[in-house]
Amino acid sequence: MGNSFQYPGDYRIEISGWGLDCTFFVERTDLLWTADGEKQVRLHRALPEGAMVFIRLLTSEPSAGVVPVAYRVHGAEPMDRNGRCQLRLVQIHPRTKESPAVENASKSLEDSPTVCDVLGIKAELQHEEVLQ
């Protein structure tokens, strides 16, 4: 199947990223890909709108070499009574000069003003140099 999902349906995945509390998480769950192209997951943690997560397809073949794919949370429902949060996801594509309208993995500093404060140390964002 390669690095991406090819058909609508349910897929067993591993999803990872940073939660609302700025701690890293890894969770196994199902990805629901609807016929109209919407992708949804249900997690045991809440994530903010716009959060970046990485999804890796879990296969029965250990040598499949599946690479994680970056997604952005595009909609988050409140936790249900079972302690699960439903999230809608949109795939993030690498930044290129030719595609300014596509959702990109790299954002400018103005788009991401906050940084997780890990162990009381505030990280400063710096401009990224892009070699073309």
Reply yes or no on whether the pLDDT at 60 is more than 90.
no
The percentage of residues in the chain with a pLDDT greater than 90, rounded to a whole number, is: 36
**69 within 8 A of 85, measured Cβ to Cβ:** no
Are 8 and 33 in contact, with CB atoms under 8 Å apart?
yes
Domain extent at residue 57: 9-122
User: Is the pLDDT score of 121 beyond 50?
Assistant: no
Cβ neighbours around 46 below 10 Å, total: 18
Tell me what pLDDT residue 28 has: 95
Q: Report, in angstroms and rounded to the nearest whole number, the Rg of the chain calculated over CA atoms.
A: 16
Cα–Cα dist 25/36, whole Å: 29
Residue 20 in any domain: the answer is yes
Within a domain: 127: no
- Is 128 inside any structural domain? no
Residue 3 in domain: no
**Residue pair 3/66 in contact by the 8 Å Cβ criterion:** yes
Which pLDDT value is given to residue 119? 47
Query: Does any domain span residue 129?
Result: no
88: domain CATH number? 2.40.10
Q: pLDDT, tens digit, for every residue of 69-118?
A: 999 999 989 889 999 999 999 999 887 766 555 555 555 444 544 555 54
Q: Which pLDDT band, with edges at 50, 70 and 90, does 66 fall under?
A: confident
2 lies in a domain?
no
CA-based torsion, 39, 48, 45, 15: positive or negative: positive
**E strand or H helix at 13:** strand 9-18
Question: Per the domain annotation, does 131 fall within a domain?
Answer: no
What does each C-alpha distance from 119 to 3, 22, 23, 113, 116 come to in angstroms?
Answer: 34, 11, 11, 19, 9
Identify whether 130 is part of a domain.
no
Domain count, the chain: 1
